[in-house]
Structure 1
Amino acid sequence: MTSVVNPLHFTGQVMKFIEGTRVVTEGELQANNITHYHVTKFYREQITDGGYYDQLKYIVEPSVKEFESPGSLDTSGEHDNTVVPGLQHKYAQTGLLLVTDRCASYCRYCFRKRIVGKDSEEIAPDFAQVAQYIGRHPEMTNVLLSGGDPFVLSTAKLNKILDHLLPIAHLDSIRFGTKMMAYEPKRFKDSALPALFRRIHESGKTAIIVTHFDHIGEISVDAERKIRSLRAQGVQFLNQSVLLAKVNDDPEILAATFAKCHQVGVRPYYLFQGRPVKGASHFQVPLRRGLEITRGINQRLSGIQKTFKYIMSHYTGKIEILDLRDDGRVYMRYHQNKVPEKIGKIFSRPHVEAACWLDDLPEG
């Protein structure tokens, strides 16, 4: 389904990193949760020919900094919110369904390094069991298919998953979280896909693709063409990006990315604060700088383009990062929380220089 190039990035015990080659053992890689290099030929050519290689290489090429990046493998409490194998129910209205542990390419900043590229037991083994749980929870109005990337699965496999979800009357929408539109847009040329989306529509539900463009250099001509085609078939599009050091920590780049998304009919949705993931925390940008960047983005966009929220997907919930004020406090509010009464509540913590995460800020 996807074309993959591995140009001798791992030969025996010699692995090529951005900073140069290094002799490593498989045990070292596993101990530091470092995934092997894996990228589609399309994406490799896109970033090489598009003029942004010096930034976009960090998304897919290994760095020796991965050995030195501390953190957690489950920063958002996914284990604690798993209700049946493969299904998370953290927020009342949303079910998050892990359908695969594979991706077309491996993002170096991935917050699911514990799963991706491995034979994970966290992937849903029984969609009938998943549907039974959802059926007993009428407050759940939407399901997000994630993983891994659901579009590495065949359309036939996706249809089998939908066989269990579409009969559930209280589901209003089916979302697909994917970076395939950046990594391998030809996946969406599959002649069987229009019928899949038509099934969703005919069941009275909305089909939503949540793309993952972190940088304008990832939005290829092929991706734009497929997005326009699918929108004409009634598919809605949202985009989420991650704020990444050395990649897109620049208001000019992110404003251009969000403006391009808006132009092609993809609504900028979340700009995620990088998570303190083991092997990937070197991508984090300090909160002070993140707020400067988001202000700079908003200064460059028209009113109708300002649809993104600057979000920290924390263990306690999705936190919108609002401001660092003259009183030296970071102001935030819960965009989502397991406790409904906390949603929308503004709170603050004393700012600490170089803080990148809520846990870096003292209470009080």
Structure 2
Amino acid sequence: METTANSLDCRAHVLKFIEETRVVSENELQVNNVTPYHVTKSYREQIIKSGYYDQLKYIVEPSVQEFESPGTLDTSGEHDNTVVPGLQHKYAQTGLLLVTERCGSYCRYCFRKRIVGKASDEIAPDFGRVAQYIACHPEMTNVLLSGGDPFVLSTSNLNRIVDHLLPIKHLKSIRFGTKMLAYAPKRFDDSALPALFQRIHKAGKSPIIVAHFDHVGEISSGAERKVRALRAQGVQFLNQSVLLAKVNDDPEILAATFAKCHEIGVRPYYLFQARPVKGASHFQVPLRRGLEIVRGINQRLSGIEKTFKYIMSHYTGKIEILDLGQDGRVYMRYHQNKVTEKIGKIFSRPHVPTACWLDDLPEQ
């Protein structure tokens, strides 16, 4: 990226997009929530040698479509569910703790564009205050460390955060949501990491890494070695993927991704419908196509590999997308909801061919 100054002393950037090179002003980037380009050397090398570069480049390389993608910056009501700075409590059993605004690389489809790569007051400033809240809420049995990516923090910083969580007896698991296994697997070479996970174990809690492999081409041999080594030390692994137009909207690719995850001991957990995020909604796939892809994935996997749910993380809750019925209605159920009585209940809405999100379906 090159930067120039115009006569009004406004910075202008010469940016290389996937489609073309453009000169854009700083204001234009900010107004359109275009995240800076940032990618690790190891990830760039991996996607080039994977044979899938033409798909995987869309994950990290900017596109001019980002200027034309409508949407909002908080699609799941994170502001409304923040109970103390940095801690969200949307579902009874789970706390979501934002520990950093930084990531190893910047995903172009990120649903936290409002935070990532910027100074943000949504990141927890006081973990003692967070722990106080959790200690007063015995229904909360697990905490997910997220951000940003917790593994961009040093292991000593992670230990300091965990120090506040380990004494809370009703916490049964501590999860770490990360894409660093794809972006920088060498981060997990740190000799101090096993002791962190052992501390969690000794406190009577399960350490869980929620990996983020969107495509089989992201699963490097280095990532596989790190997963196997940490599993041998008692760390559990889950995987969440996002269904992304031009990247993995293909049942063959996603079936291969989930089969590879299963092979190395990472349980496929969620396949997320991409969210209508400003600057990223061009990644959305219509719900009908998404259901066709999910059906194709399941046709290619063995029974023990079919552990994922097709999920829409909506403002009202986590919605499992089930099927498009012969009656022309999309059938769904709440996998999680703030209202306990709604969890597990099936509901439906009339299908609209262009619909990519619950709000695109009429309430009838």
TM range (shorter): over 0.9
Cα deviation, residue 104, structure 1:
0.5
Does residue 73 of the first structure (1) align with residue 73 of the second (2)? yes
Q: Which residue of 1 aligns with 2:188?
A: 188
Cα deviation, residue 11, structure 1:
4.0
Q: Which residue of 1 aligns with 2:319?
A: 319
Q: Which residue of 1 aligns with 2:344?
A: 344
Does residue 160 of the first structure (1) align with residue 160 of the second (2)? yes
3-state secondary structure, aligned to 1:181: helix
Does residue 178 of the first structure (1) align with residue 178 of the second (2)? yes
Count of residues paired in the alignment: 356
State the AA in 2 paired with 1:174.
I
- Which stretches of structure 1, 4 residues or longer, exceed 6 Å deviation after superposition? none
CA–CA separation in structure 2 for the residues paired with 1:14 and 1:35: 14
CA contact (8 A) 1:216 1:257 kept: yes
Q: Which residue of 1 aligns with 2:92?
A: 92
CA–CA separation in structure 1 for the residues paired with 2:116 and 2:108: 11
Q: Which residue of 2 aligns with 1:329?
A: 329
State the AA in 2 paired with 1:220.
S
CA–CA separation in structure 2 for the residues paired with 1:169 and 1:36: 41
3-state secondary structure, aligned to 1:39: coil
CA–CA separation in structure 1 for the residues paired with 2:55 and 2:20: 17
Q: Which residue of 2 aligns with 1:230?
A: 230
CA–CA separation in structure 2 for the residues paired with 1:37 and 1:124: 25
CA–CA separation in structure 1 for the residues paired with 2:269 and 2:162: 25
CA–CA separation in structure 2 for the residues paired with 1:216 and 1:178: 16
Q: Which residue of 2 aligns with 1:3?
A: none
State the AA in 2 paired with 1:304.
I
Q: What are the within-5 Å matches in structure 2 for residues 291-310 of structure 1? A: 291-310=291-310
The TM-score with structure 1 as length reference comes to 0.97
CA contact (8 A) 1:10 1:16 kept: no
Which blocks of at least 5 consecutive residues in structure 2 are unaligned? 5-12
CA–CA separation in structure 1 for the residues paired with 2:248 and 2:267: 18
1:283-342 residue CA offsets vs partner (Å, 9 max, x unmatched): 000000000000000000000000000000000000000000110000000000000000
Q: What are the within-5 Å matches in structure 2 for residues 38-117 of structure 1? A: 38-117=38-117
Q: RMSD of aligned C-alpha atoms?
A: 0.5
1:13-35 residue CA offsets vs partner (Å, 9 max, x unmatched): 21010001001001000000001
State the AA in 1 paired with 2:125.
P
Cα deviation, residue 50, structure 1:
1.1
CA contact (8 A) 1:10 1:36 kept: no
3-state secondary structure, aligned to 2:237: strand
3-state secondary structure, aligned to 1:223: helix
3-state secondary structure, aligned to 2:95: strand
1:220-251 residue CA offsets vs partner (Å, 9 max, x unmatched): 00000000000000000000000000000000
3-state secondary structure, aligned to 1:333: strand
3-state secondary structure, aligned to 1:19: coil
1:241-268 residue CA offsets vs partner (Å, 9 max, x unmatched): 0000000000000000000000000000
Q: Which residue of 2 aligns with 1:283?
A: 283
Cα deviation, residue 49, structure 1:
1.1
Change in 2 beyond 3 A, CA 1:33/1:263: same
State the AA in 2 paired with 1:60.
V
Cα deviation, residue 10, structure 1:
4.6
State the AA in 1 paired with 2:311.
I
Cα deviation, residue 354, structure 1:
1.1
Q: Which residue of 1 aligns with 2:7?
A: none
CA–CA separation in structure 2 for the residues paired with 1:162 and 1:47: 33
The TM-score with structure 2 as length reference comes to 0.97
Q: Which residue of 1 aligns with 2:269?
A: 269
Q: Which residue of 1 aligns with 2:10?
A: none
Report % sequence identity: 84
Q: Which residue of 2 aligns with 1:4?
A: none
Q: What are the within-5 Å matches in structure 2 for residues 197-208 of structure 1? A: 197-208=197-208
